[in-house]
């Protein structure tokens, strides 16, 4: 199972290239849309590729998605494009207003608050569950991921660190064995990745994140579900407060120029 994790399925020892990051983003979208293992179709290809481009920041929040341009790009009619964008709308990456062009979703404070609180509650549950269930081998696997995270931190490769971070929590969710929670977390991952990329874009933020992950693994070793949940909660709420302050009360969309407070970190 460890070898199937996103970042660990790709050799990143020499750094995270744009191609490797795009591959990781496509895997996330494919899984969230439940395309993993499904025979590829044009609709699924468009949805996965456009979704990955949104995650990677090729489209800025609020940017129009021109179905005519996309249909030309994929040498098809607009019908498969519309179907693909509707799938991305269900996952919170795209908005399709009546009689207007589809656009990339933008984030306001109320949206960020809702997403972070939901994700926090789910990951608290997962962390407590892992503290109870994890075997010695499971914890060793998590330590291995933390070693990779530390390696990327030392190299200041924060992009690779982010995807290792994703793998850490992906493995935790698998250990919990709760399919319902996993499905929701996979969907939320699509919505949170743009935020988390910003929150893990500075050395101080990544340092705090790494420290929290090491504390979390220690709580797992100590079989302390309450402490594990508390570490998750503290980190997420600190990040949320910083985001709320930065976005100024709920009206500002989160665009590419927004910078996270370096003390916020992100699990």
Over the stretch 183-206, which tens digit does the pLDDT of each residue have?
899 888 888 888 787 778 788 888
Residues 136 and 239 grouped into a single domain: yes
Q: What are the average pLDDT values for consecutive 10-residue runs of the chain, which has 267 residues?
A: 48 69 91 77 96 92 94 96 96 93 89 90 95 96 96 93 93 92 89 81 86 96 97 86 66 39 53
124, 228: one domain: yes
Percent of the chain at pLDDT > 70 equals: 84
pTM score of the predicted model? 0.82
pLDDT value of position 55: 92
Decide if 139 is inside a domain.
yes
User: Do the strands 94-95 and 103-104 form a parallel or antiparallel pair, or are they unpaired?
Assistant: antiparallel
The reply to whether 258 falls in a domain is no
**Whether 88 and 65 share a structural domain:** yes
**pLDDT given at position 36:** 67
pLDDT for position 259: 39
Q: How many degrees, rounded to 5, is the angle at CA 240 between CA 217 and CA 159?
A: 60
Number of domains present in the structure of the chain = 2
CATH number at residue 161: 1.20.120.530
Provide the residue range defining the domain that includes 200.
109-247
- Name the token pair of 93: 């990456």
């Amino acid at each position: 199972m460890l070898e199937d994790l996103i970042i660990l399925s790709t050799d990143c020892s020499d750094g995270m290239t744009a191609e490797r990051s795009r591959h990781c983003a496509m895997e996330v979208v494919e899984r969230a849309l439940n395309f993993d293992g499904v025979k590829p179709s044009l609709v699924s290809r468009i949805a996965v590729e456009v979704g990955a481009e949104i995650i990677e920041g090729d489209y800025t929040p609020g940017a129009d998605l021109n179905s005519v341009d996309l249909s030309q790009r994929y040498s098809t009619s607009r019908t498969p494009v519309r179907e693909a964008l509707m799938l991305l709308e269900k996952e919170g990456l795209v908005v399709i207003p009546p009689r207007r062009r589809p656009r990339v979703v933008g984030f306001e404070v109320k949206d960020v608050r809702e997403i972070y609180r939901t994700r926090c509650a789910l990951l608290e549950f997962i962390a407590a569950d892992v503290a109870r269930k994890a075997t010695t081998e499971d914890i060793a696997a998590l330590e291995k991921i933390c070693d990779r995270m530390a390696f990327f931190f030392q190299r200041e490769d924060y992009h690779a660190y982010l995807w290792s971070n994703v793998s850490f929590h992906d493995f935790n969710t698998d250990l919990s064995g709760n399919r319902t929670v996993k499905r929701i977390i996979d969907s939320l991952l699509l919505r949170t990745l743009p935020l988390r990329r910003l929150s893990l874009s500075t050395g101080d933020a990544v340092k705090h994140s790494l420290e929290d992950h090491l504390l979390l693994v220690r709580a797992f070793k100590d079989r302390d579900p309450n402490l594990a949940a508390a570490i998750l909660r503290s980190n997420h709420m600190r990040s949320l407060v910083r985001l709320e302050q930065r976005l100024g009360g709920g009206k500002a969309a989160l665009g590419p120029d927004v910078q996270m407070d370096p003390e916020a970190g992100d699990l």
